[in-house]
Structure 1
Amino acid sequence: MAAALKAVALVAGEASGDLLAAELLRGLQARWPGLQAGGIGGPKLEATGFQCWWPSEKLAVRGYVEVLRHYREIVGIRRQLKARLLADQPGLFIGVDAPDFNLDLEGDLRAAGIRTVHFVAPAVWAWRPERVEQIRRCTDHVLCIFPFEPELLARHGIAATYVGHPLAPLIPLEPDQATARAGLGLAPDARVVALLPGSRSAEIEHLLPRFLQAARLMLREQPGLRFVLPAVPAQFARIEQLVTRAGLGEALQLTRGGSHAALAACDATLIASGTATLEAALFKRPMVIAYHMNWLSWKLHQRKMLQPWVGLPNILAGEFLVPELLQEAATPAALARETLAWLADDQATQARREALRQRFVRLHGELSRDTVRLACDAIEQVLAA
């Protein structure tokens, strides 16, 4: 019989975390009927009946300098949330990714006797290895989305369970490109590039203008190209202004959300480094990974990196499967050139695309597990301990 759980608090700090948290919460609600849930989240969590006390975009900040600009507000939110949770005493707190916000909060709650679970292990194998001690102190259990992580964490005395990636079972092994294109009103034989500049405000500022300039250069080379840009609802008005100024006209289709439809429909994607790159891999799409941030944030970030890759497909493969254009290298001309390289019709490029597709099929199989059930099983063990 499942241990009793009447109330759970969750914090999901951006669009990808909101999606993961919503899938997990549905599983928790099925196992513990009548479960009350509240905290920080976005529209997908809200759709489950989750009480959203603050919107997830409040935490969607990346980069040291960018965090400093919002530091007082973020710290204020965490202080208020901590006070509320210490007063309410939920049966469980789940921090979904967002380790800079969640881990310290988890530590305070755990010290007060509230069970804590962290979903999506901080990538200590990629950067900031000093965080291991913080994880051990702050959380009762880590739910890992990559198969090698539990063993690595166990070496440091951290309890962890591999649950697979919750999106892997939801994305078809062979995505239906024709249906996705029909849904977006795109011609079956069109060449389509998905533009995914990220969901954070700083990403829109630093990346989207570069992506739009790259799209103009690509369109000059191949006038028949079509672009799809799925915009997160919270950033839609701002993105729409930038798109209008870019003057791409009917060649670019802006949608409210719908990143999965865009990935299913496209032939290749120009994409911001982050969780979305793994989603693109699950859709078996060639990609060019880009990132640009405040120069000081970039210098500080570089000092913490342990590996030469930043994109998840490359990190998991241990090699540059797809190009990464970061900081000064992320020029519109370079972004356009590398994206067009995936669309060439010569035999060498076709073989390159097929080899990449096969690697992504294997990755999909490795990540496909009954994630929600495994996560709920692990949570039940935490509650029973």
Structure 2
Amino acid sequence: MSNLLNPKLRRDESRLYNSKLKTIFISTGEVSGDLQGSLLIEGLKRAAVAAGIDLEIVALGGDRMEAAGATMLGNTSAIGSLGLVESLPFVLPTLQLQRRAKQYLKSNPPDLVVLIDYAGPNLSLGHYIHKQLPKVPLVYYISPQVWVWWPFARDIKRIVEMTDLLLAIFPEEERYFKAKGANVTLVGHPLVDRMKTAPSREQARVKLGIEDSQMAIALLPASRPQELKYLMPAMFEAAKAIQNKLPDVHFWIPLSLEAYRLQIEQAIKDYGLHATLVTDKTKEVLAAADLAIAKSGTVNLELALLNVPQVVIYRVSPITYWLARILRFSISFMSPPNLVVMRQIVPELLQEQATPENIAQESLELLLNSEKRQQNLADYQEMQSLLGEAGVCDRAASAILALL
């Protein structure tokens, strides 16, 4: 990755020769944030060309954002977590990257900052920018889902105060932050753009070598390390029960991070699953599936946009769950498809409900009960109508560049 302490081009010198050069700093984390960041960078580059702006993008993110053209200050795609206890191993590396980012921003103030999700680190970084660099416009694109579950009004107020523009991806998110006094624009969900290039079911099955009559189930256990610990055992135990009931079924598992390969391969052997672990073919696996059993996250929307029925599971450590109850964390729904319509259209099994027995039962219902399956697909159509038209990333990019 590029070392920003020794940049290829000193910005102060370059501006002497190029008055149109603008720098945007983007901060995000985890695998999903890296994906959303890369899509936004592509949109920003298109918009910059159309506006005649020479654009430099510096970022905290991952490999996808670097491939899209950002100069990386640090890689945050593998240091994300859900849960209070689960986040402890990532505190030190996160603080180190935060310190590096703040040092860089102080020495090289950008023309604009974009924060993408990544609640704790980005709230800290945004607060720093708001106080130390008050003239730098700050955009929050894909805000943390504090509007769903966060009990601390102080942090919600901080988002409103530090943000010059909040680009909402959910209708309920737009309504919530407008009521709090934020400057909000609803742009729609960027996955609408991404899934336009997804293969059809038939195309995906040809590419993966799946017969049309073969029942295929996608298993999506983890994009964070603790999900392997808390979700994968229950998910794979449920898969084993489904396999006992439907011996011809085959499971497909897209690999989110290479670091998880050995652990997942060993689990496939331990549970005796008829399964294939796939690299770099996530969209094909999702599109080809008759059903998915998935962790809660961005992938739930991808499945819904592909009209694939799914069962969503979510677990954290018992200590984190206990603390959340003590602190009165409360959520209406966990999975994005349910959050879009603010009612349950896909089954959610949270914490003690996410047992192998319940996962298997919900999965078999969606596979074998045609009425329930058709209702799920009809609900997907309602959800899709609320996500906005294609061109989400271009709309977001245009709104961001307008602040320059």
TM over 0.5: yes
Change (3 A) 1:304 1:77: farther
Q: Which residue of 2 aligns with 1:11?
A: 27
User: Quick one: which amino acid aligns to residue 317 of structure 2?
Assistant: N
Deviations 1:160-212 (A, max 9, x none): 11110111133249961111111111111111111111200111121112222
User: Quick one: which amino acid aligns to residue 103 of structure 1?
Assistant: L
Change (3 A) 1:159 1:234: farther
**Counterpart contact for 1:233–1:257, Cα < 8 Å:** no
Change (3 A) 1:106 1:16: same
Q: CA deviation at 1:32?
A: 2.1
The RMSD of aligned alpha carbons is: 2.1
**Counterpart contact for 2:149–2:330, Cα < 8 Å:** yes
1:120 and 2:142 correspond: yes
**Counterpart contact for 1:97–1:120, Cα < 8 Å:** yes
Matches within 5 A, 1:40-189: 40-111=60-131, 112=133, 113-129=135-151, 130=153, 131-172=155-196, 176-189=200-213
> Which has the higher mean CA deviation after the structures are superposed, 132-141 or 168-177?
168-177
Q: Which residue of 2 aligns with 1:25?
A: 41
Tell me which of 350, 359, 364 is aligned to 1:340. 364
In 2, the alpha carbon distance for the partners of 1:174 and 1:24 equals 18
Tell me which of 35, 48, 59 is aligned to 1:39. 59
Change (3 A) 1:248 1:271: same
Tell me which of 354, 358, 363 is aligned to 1:330. 354
Change (3 A) 1:271 1:355: same
**Counterpart contact for 1:57–1:200, Cα < 8 Å:** no
Look up the SS of the partner of 2:236 in the other structure.
Answer: helix
Q: Which residue of 1 aligns with 2:9?
A: none
In 2, the alpha carbon distance for the partners of 1:159 and 1:210 equals 42
Change (3 A) 1:247 1:59: closer
Look up the SS of the partner of 2:383 in the other structure.
Answer: helix
Q: CA deviation at 1:25?
A: 0.6
Change (3 A) 1:173 1:43: closer
Matches within 5 A, 1:310-329: 310-329=334-353
In 1, the alpha carbon distance for the partners of 2:68 and 2:342 equals 37
Deviations 1:314-372 (A, max 9, x none): 2333332222212122122221221111111xxxx212212221221222122133212
Q: Which residue of 2 aligns with 1:271?
A: 294
Q: CA deviation at 1:73?
A: 2.2
In 2, the alpha carbon distance for the partners of 1:11 and 1:195 equals 29
1:214 and 2:234 correspond: no
Change (3 A) 1:308 1:164: closer
**Counterpart contact for 2:83–2:316, Cα < 8 Å:** yes
**Counterpart contact for 1:173–1:361, Cα < 8 Å:** no
**Counterpart contact for 1:173–1:282, Cα < 8 Å:** no
Tell me which of 283, 293, 300 is aligned to 2:306. 283
> Which has the higher mean CA deviation after the structures are superposed, 172-181 or 74-83?
172-181
User: Quick one: which amino acid aligns to residue 25 of structure 1?
Assistant: I
In 2, the alpha carbon distance for the partners of 1:5 and 1:97 equals 27
**Counterpart contact for 2:79–2:93, Cα < 8 Å:** no
User: Quick one: which amino acid aligns to residue 19 of structure 1?
Assistant: L
TM-score (norm 2): 0.87
In 2, the alpha carbon distance for the partners of 1:275 and 1:166 equals 11
In 1, the alpha carbon distance for the partners of 2:334 and 2:261 equals 29
In 2, the alpha carbon distance for the partners of 1:235 and 1:5 equals 38
In 2, the alpha carbon distance for the partners of 1:362 and 1:101 equals 34
> Which has the higher mean CA deviation after the structures are superposed, 15-24 or 228-237?
228-237
> Which has the higher mean CA deviation after the structures are superposed, 284-293 or 118-127?
118-127
In 2, the alpha carbon distance for the partners of 1:123 and 1:5 equals 33
Deviations 1:288-329 (A, max 9, x none): 111111112122334444444222222333332222212122
User: Quick one: which amino acid aligns to residue 253 of structure 1?
Assistant: T
Q: Which residue of 1 aligns with 2:318?
A: 295
Question: How many residue pairs align between the two structures?
Answer: 376
Instruction: Extract unaligned runs of 5+ from structure 2.
Output: 1-18
Look up the SS of the partner of 1:343 in the other structure.
Answer: helix
In 2, the alpha carbon distance for the partners of 1:338 and 1:235 equals 30
Q: Which residue of 1 aligns with 2:402?
A: 381
Large movers: runs of 4+ above 4 Å: 172-175
**Counterpart contact for 2:34–2:65, Cα < 8 Å:** yes
Q: Which residue of 1 aligns with 2:14?
A: none
In 2, the alpha carbon distance for the partners of 1:226 and 1:244 equals 12
In 2, the alpha carbon distance for the partners of 1:316 and 1:49 equals 31
**Counterpart contact for 2:287–2:306, Cα < 8 Å:** yes
**Counterpart contact for 2:338–2:346, Cα < 8 Å:** yes
Q: CA deviation at 1:146?
A: 0.9
1:366 and 2:386 correspond: yes
Look up the SS of the partner of 2:72 in the other structure.
Answer: strand
